[in-house]
């Protein structure tokens, strides 16, 4: 029997995800570039304030102020704070690490969620998935290489981003059972803007026109990228789309090469390959487990 053709909606979802990954890789490349001349906090403030304002202008006129109603205001605050902390770790990482290596380590998030889900939620995790988890971390160690000649302590910063973002995702998974995703998206943007605004006066520098353009472009890339990602998940199940999230590594390598002339060394390339293989295998395993009666796949969520 011949295999059934892929539905057009699935192909659209895949195209949207790949486009979003290209936008996110571009954002990271610009963030690394801007970090050489402006405080990281300014980049974070522009990124969140742009998202908050644009989302509010689009969502509130359409759905009214009722979209701001939430059953868990404290969870909304915590979720927004976790994402701000993740952004601090991520932007600080990009100041020191090549974009490709940072992106590869960032894709460990689904594997960390596996650990947290097993530890805190009591979810069953197969032996094969544990192998993939440890394989992913082994790949990260090949990139970081603690004790190596090129090791500096900021190389550990991406692991901080991975941990805080994994907690963010687990909290998201809990909240989506009762909360409107648009409400969560609004609170995320405004909490990030508020937290960054409190510290902004202490680090503010007047940006040049070029720097201002780059900051605004970061806001556009982040907002449009997340919008495309949301559209993708309305057209296809997450299990079908997750393998294509790893396209961001390829785009990050391209950006690092074009803008900074950075090419990962052989050890880093090996680590990137190991992480990508384990991540894609984990996504395929999730897809398989979702089709097998009695199997409880580990949840992986995307924003």
| % pLDDT > 70, the chain | 89
- pLDDT > 90? residue 23: yes
- pLDDT > 90? residue 215: yes
In whole angstroms, give the CA distance from residue 31 to residue 33.
5
State the residue for tokens 């509010």: 56
Q: Measure CA of the first residue to CA of the last residue in the chain; give whole Å.
A: 37
In whole angstroms, give the CA distance from residue 41 to residue 97.
18
- pLDDT > 80? residue 173: no
Q: Which of 37-51, 141-155, 250-264 has the lowest mean pLDDT?
A: 141-155
- pLDDT > 50? residue 302: no
Averaged pLDDT, 294-302: 38
Which segments of the chain are extended strands (E)?
A: none
DSSP secondary structure code for residue 97 in this structure: S
State the pLDDT at residue 231: 82
- Coil, helix or strand at residue 266: helix
In whole angstroms, give the CA distance from residue 10 to residue 8.
5
Mean pLDDT of the chain: 84
- pLDDT > 70? residue 9: yes
**Residues 85-120: pLDDT tens digits?**
999 999 999 988 889 989 999 888 878 887 777 777
Domain membership of residue 1 (yes or no) is no
81, two tokens: 């704070």
Domain membership of residue 248 (yes or no) is yes
Averaged pLDDT, 239-256: 85
Domain membership of residue 161 (yes or no) is yes
- pLDDT > 50? residue 298: no
In whole angstroms, give the CA distance from residue 233 to residue 120.
26
CA-closest candidate to residue 251, choices 16, 18, 14: 18
Three-state SS sequence of 104-118: HHHCCHHHHHHHHHH
Domain membership of residue 153 (yes or no) is yes
Q: How confident is the model at residue 121 (pLDDT cuts 50, 70, 90)?
A: low
Domain total in the chain? 1
Domain membership of residue 212 (yes or no) is yes
| % pLDDT > 90, the chain | 36
Contact (CB, 8 A) for 240 and 13: yes
CA-closest candidate to residue 125, choices 135, 137, 136, 113: 113
Domain membership of residue 270 (yes or no) is yes
Q: 38 is in which domain, residue-wise?
A: 8-291
Contacts of 203 (CB under 8 A, 6+ apart): 39, 41, 42
Domain membership of residue 299 (yes or no) is no
CA angle (22 as vertex; 200, 194 as ends), nearest 5: 20
261, two tokens: 């002339």
Domain membership of residue 302 (yes or no) is no
In whole angstroms, give the CA distance from residue 95 to residue 43.
12
pTM attached to this predicted model: 0.81
Averaged pLDDT, 161-179: 85
60, two tokens: 């509130």
- Coil, helix or strand at residue 122: coil
In whole angstroms, give the CA distance from residue 149 to residue 215.
34
- pLDDT > 50? residue 75: yes
Chain centroid offset of residue 63 CA:
27
């Amino acid at each position: 029997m011949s295999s059934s053709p892929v539905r057009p909606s699935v192909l659209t979802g895949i195209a949207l995800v790949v486009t979003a990954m290209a936008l996110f890789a571009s954002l990271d490349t610009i963030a690394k570039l801007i970090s050489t001349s402006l405080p990281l906090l300014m980049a974070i403030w522009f990124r969140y304030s742009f998202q908050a304002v644009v989302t509010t202008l689009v969502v509130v006129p359409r759905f009214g102020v009722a979209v701001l109603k939430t059953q868990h205001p404290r969870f909304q605050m915590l979720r927004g704070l976790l994402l701000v902390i993740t952004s601090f770790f991520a932007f600080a990482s990009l100041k020191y690490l090549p974009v490709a290596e940072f992106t590869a380590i960032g894709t460990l998030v689904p594997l960390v969620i596996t650990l947290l889900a097993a530890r805190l939620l009591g979810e069953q995790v197969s032996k094969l998935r544990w192998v993939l988890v440890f394989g992913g971390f082994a790949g990260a160690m090949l990139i970081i290489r603690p004790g190596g000649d090129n090791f500096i302590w900021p190389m550990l910063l991406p692991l901080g981003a991975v941990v805080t973002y994994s907690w963010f995702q687990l909290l998201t998974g809990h909240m989506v059972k009762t909360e409107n995703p648009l409400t969560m998206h609004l609170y995320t943007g405004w909490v990030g803007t508020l937290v960054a605004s409190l510290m902004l006066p202490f680090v503010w520098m007047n940006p040049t026109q070029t720097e201002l353009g780059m900051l605004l472009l970061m806001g556009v890339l982040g907002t449009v990228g997340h919008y495309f990602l949301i559209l993708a998940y309305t057209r296809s199940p997450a299990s079908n789309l997750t393998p294509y999230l790893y396209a961001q590594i390829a785009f990050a390598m391209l950006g690092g090469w074009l803008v900074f002339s950075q090419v990962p060394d052989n050890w880093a390339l090996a680590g990137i390959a190991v992480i990508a293989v384990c991540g894609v295998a984990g996504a395929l395993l999730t897809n398989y487990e979702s089709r097998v009666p009695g199997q409880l796949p580990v949840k992986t969520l995307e924003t």
